[in-house]
A = this chain, B = another copy of it.
């Protein structure tokens, strides 16, 4: 059995972090799949999906680290076309990932005690963002 849905994410960009754990859990339960896995796929090139503890300090520390690695203000070659000023976001998305799979057993995701499913949107402004959820199993 395979089940697919799309989550619309409400985001203002600029390292907006949205915790979608409950929405993923609800979708898993709704599919009736007891044993399998759920794929979480971010459909954009300026953000990421992340399994992490959802604590404000950790989020700020990650943003601080990424700002040192790929600062918002920097002469990115991607900007030279004059269309975009989001070079940092493309680089950060590559260093993180857009695709994560989580195992399911007894209709529950096997997440650790502190693991949450987070979406990071690092676009320069608010824009419609989507995440694909796909459950495979039996």
Contact = CB atoms under 8 A, between A and B. Distances in A.
B77 A61 contact: yes
B53 A45 contact: yes
Contacts of A51: 45, 98-99
Most buried by B among A68, A80, A103, A132: A103
A96 B99 contact: no
Copies in the complex: 3
Contact of A94 (B50, B60, B132): B50
Contacts of A7: none
Nearest to A36: B2
Interface residues of A, number: 58
Given A41-B101, A105-B4, A65 B91 contact: yes
A134 interface: yes
Contacts of A77: 56-58, 60-61, 64
Nearest to A3: B35
A138 B53 CA distance: 35
B50 A79 contact: no
A115 interface: yes
5 contacts: A4-B103, A43-B115, A56-B77, A97-B97, A98-B100
